[in-house]
């Protein structure tokens, strides 16, 4: 039993974990770095279960004042066309743009033309949760220690299409396996900042996307490390868990479905222009799975929302990861549920470590005073990787642990059923 908000912490990883070398030449490994980055988890004792922790997010706190400049990128993929918005963390400014979230304004063309640099500062590329954006409090809590009070990190947030007051300019909407925009930004960052070590951080749906992206890239991934927080992993299991309970369906699924319907309504003209979605039918949506049935299946050609969930899940992607990867999950998370966490997959892949806490809810982990515990292991892990670990010594192995099997098979953890056929 957890006593007075003190959550139990556990780590799941391969028995033969990824070896790492410190800059001073001594040896360590990935679990040791993760454990050293994880402080005790002392949460607010009044928020003593996952529901209370999660629902407390409805209390509108101000959060750390992070300032952004926005750049609209044109997609470079011939199929996944359109535009998407990326918000870059910048020094405080007084510019006000009422069309954007607070403390956010656009780069001028002259400013953005000068953004390239040969510096070696570490850079973090962040993905937010469902229908969120760079303004989300859980996200700002997580990156504030890296950029405020002398932090030397460069950070940008890739906003999902239509989110954070960005426009929808094509029929390509975001979904749980929409890795194309983050892939483009990672490639752009590699060209624009050739000497920066790049890292990824994803929350909830963004964690699922990031895990899929890192798995798809495999040994060729340009990132030096990645963190997935509150990842639902197995979307079909998570969806069924939501529908199984009163709170799951009538609170969480209803809120998420309503938020997604509001997002579609904000972009009504674009949706009617660029898609074949039935806008009137979407107005009858109440729950998240109903939204996915009306939008994701119609957009991408899945016969059912469950087929979409199975195809977009990132649980198998864990097996294909070939960079240092830390996942942080709360076992009492009512949205990214316990049953969906792929414990065995983490045990198989030496490049991955799963950090679980017995308390915390969904992207919550509220401490006394309103702080968020999850910011500590996130920032400590990133700082350890950049200050103590010789990143150039990490050599991705396409075969992972090299486990031997009785039969030779062609199992590919990143094989997907959906194939977009060019017209």
∠117-182-308 over CA atoms, to 5°?
180
Residue 137 — very low, low, confident or very high, per pLDDT cuts 50/70/90?
very high
3-state secondary structure of 252: helix
At 3, is the pLDDT very low, low, confident or very high (cuts 50, 70, 90)?
confident
**Mean pLDDT of the region 84-92:** 97
Domains of the chain: 6-234+318-393 (3.40.50.1820), 237-312 (no CATH)
Average pLDDT over residues 174-199: 97
pLDDT at 313 over 70: yes
Q: Which two structure tokens, joined as six digits, stand for 242?
A: 């939501």
Q: Is a pLDDT exceeding 70 seen at residue 401?
A: no
Report the alpha-carbon distance of residue 306 to residue 96 in Å, rounded: 43
Report the length, in residues, of the chain.
423
Q: Where would I find the H helices in 283-416?
A: 288-294, 296-300, 305-312, 343-348, 375-387
CA trace torsion 394, 397, 401, 405 (10° rounding): 180
Report the phi/psi class of residue 370: left, alpha or beta, with left for phi > 0 and alpha for psi in -120 to 50.
Answer: left
Please give the pLDDT value at position 423. Answer: 58
Whether 41 and 373 have beta carbons less than 8 Å apart is answered as yes
Amino acid 363: pLDDT: 97
Residues 92-120 have pLDDT tens digits of: 999 989 999 999 999 999 999 999 999 99
Range 282-288 average pLDDT: 97
| 187 membership: H or E segment, kind and range | helix 180-192
How far is it, in rounded angstroms, from Cα 186 to Cα 191? Answer: 9
Q: Are 377 and 330 in contact (CB under 8 A)?
A: no
Distances (CA, A) of 416 to 72, 101, 216, 294, 401: 29, 35, 10, 22, 23
pLDDT confidence of residue 406: 75
Matching residue, tokens 């209803």: 254
Instruction: Report the C-alpha gap between 143 and 374 in whole angstroms.
Output: 11
* Cα–Cα dist 155/123, whole Å: 6
Query: Strand 27-29 relative to strand 19-21: parallel, antiparallel, unpaired?
Result: antiparallel
Q: Report pLDDT for 400.
A: 63
Residue 295, pLDDT score:
98
pLDDT at residue 402, rounded to an integer: 56
Q: How many other β-carbons are positioned within 10 Å of the β-carbon of residue 199?
A: 24
Is the pLDDT confidence value at 409 over 90? no
Q: In the prediction, which pLDDT does 38 show?
A: 98
> What is the pLDDT, as a whole number, of residue 395?
85
392 has a pLDDT exceeding 80: yes
Per-residue model confidence (pLDDT) at position 368: 93
The pLDDT of residue 115 is: 97
Share of the chain above pLDDT 70, in %: 97
Q: Please check whether residue 106 is in contact with residue 167, taking contact to mean a CB–CB distance below 8 angstroms.
A: no
Residue 93: what pLDDT? 96
Q: Which residues of 216-239 are buried (b: 16+ CB within 10 A; e: fewer)?
A: bbbeebebbbbbbbbbbbbbbbbb
CA angle 341, 347, 350 (to 5 degrees): 120
- Residue 403 is predicted with a pLDDT of 63
Average pLDDT over residues 169-190: 96
Coil, helix or strand at residue 253: helix
Q: In what helix (H) or strand (E) does residue 51 lie, and over which residues does it extend?
A: helix 50-55
Q: What pLDDT sits at residue 58?
A: 82
- Is there a contact between 141 and 371 (Cβ–Cβ < 8 Å)? yes
- Mean pLDDT over residues 204-220, rounded? 98
What mean pLDDT do residues 217-234 have? 98
- Is the entire prediction scored with pTM above 0.85? yes
Q: What is the 8-class DSSP label of residue 329?
A: E
Q: Which residues have CB under 8 Å from 263's CB, separation 6+?
A: 131, 162, 163
Query: pLDDT tens, 331-386?
Result: 999 999 999 999 999 999 999 999 999 999 999 999 998 899 999 999 999 999 99
Residues annotated as part of the active site: 204, 333, 362
Give the residue-averaged pLDDT of 272-294: 97
pLDDT digits (tens, 9 = 90+) for 51-80: 999 999 888 678 999 999 999 999 999 999
Structure confidence by residue, pLDDT tens digits, 14-48: 999 999 999 999 999 999 999 999 999 999 999 99
Label residue 210 by pLDDT band (50, 70, 90): very high
State residue 287's pLDDT score: 98
User: Do residues 177 and 189 lie in contact, with contact meaning Cβ atoms separated by under 8 Å?
Assistant: no
Question: To the nearest whole number, what is the mean pLDDT of the chain?
Answer: 95
How would you classify residue 164: left for phi > 0, otherwise alpha for psi between -120 and 50, otherwise beta? left
């Amino acid at each position: 039993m957890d006593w007075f908000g003190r959550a139990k912490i556990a780590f799941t990883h391969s028995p033969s974990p990824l070896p790492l070398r410190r800059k001073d030449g001594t040896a360590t490994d990935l679990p040791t770095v993760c454990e050293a980055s994880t402080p005790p988890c002392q949460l607010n004792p009044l928020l003593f279960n996952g529901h209370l922790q999660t629902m407390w997010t409805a209390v509108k706190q101000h959060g750390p004042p992070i300032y952004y400049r926005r750049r609209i990128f044109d997609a470079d993929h011939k199929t996944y066309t359109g535009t998407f918005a990326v918000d870059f963390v910048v020094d405080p400014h007084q510019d006000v743009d009422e069309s954007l979230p607070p403390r956010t304004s656009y780069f001028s063309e002259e400013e953005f033309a000068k953004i390239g640099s040969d510096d070696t500062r570490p850079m973090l590329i962040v993905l937010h949760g469902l229908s969120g954006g760079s303004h989300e409090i859980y996200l700002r809590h997580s990156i504030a220690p890296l950029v405020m009070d002398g932090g030397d990190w460069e950070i940008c947030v890739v906003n999902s299409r239509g989110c954070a007051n960005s426009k929808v300019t094509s029929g390509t909407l975001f979904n749980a396996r929409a890795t194309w925009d983050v892939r483009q930004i990672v490639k752009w960052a590699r060209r624009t900042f050739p000497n920066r070590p790049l890292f990824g951080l994803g929350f909830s749906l963004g964690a699922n996307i990031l895990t899929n992206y890192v798995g798809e890239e495999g040994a060729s991934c340009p990132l030096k490390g990645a963190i997935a927080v509150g990842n639902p992993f197995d979307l079909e299991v998570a969806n069924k868990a939501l529908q199984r309970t009163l709170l799951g369906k009538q609170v969480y699924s209803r809120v998420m479905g309503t938020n997604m319907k509001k997002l579609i309504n904000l972009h009504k003209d674009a949706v009617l222009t660029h898609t074949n979605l039935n806008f009137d039918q979407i107005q009858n949506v109440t729950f998240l799975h109903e939204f996915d049935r009306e939008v994701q299946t119609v957009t991408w050609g899945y016969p059912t929302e469950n087929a979409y969930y199975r195809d977009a899940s990132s649980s198998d992607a864990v097996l294909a990861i070939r960079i240092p990867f830390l996942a942080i999950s709360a076992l009492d998370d009512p949205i990214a549920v316990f049953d969906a966490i792929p414990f065995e997959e983490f045990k198989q892949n030496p490049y991955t470590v799963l950090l679980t806490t017995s308390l915390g809810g969904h992207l919550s982990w509220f401490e006394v005073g309103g702080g968020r515990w999850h910011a500590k292991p996130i920032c400590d892990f990133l700082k350890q990787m950049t200050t103590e670990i010789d990143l150039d010594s990490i050599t991705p192995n396409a075969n992972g642990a090299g486990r031997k099997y009785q039969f030779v098979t062609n199992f590919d953890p990143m094989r997907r059923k959906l194939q977009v056929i060019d017209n």
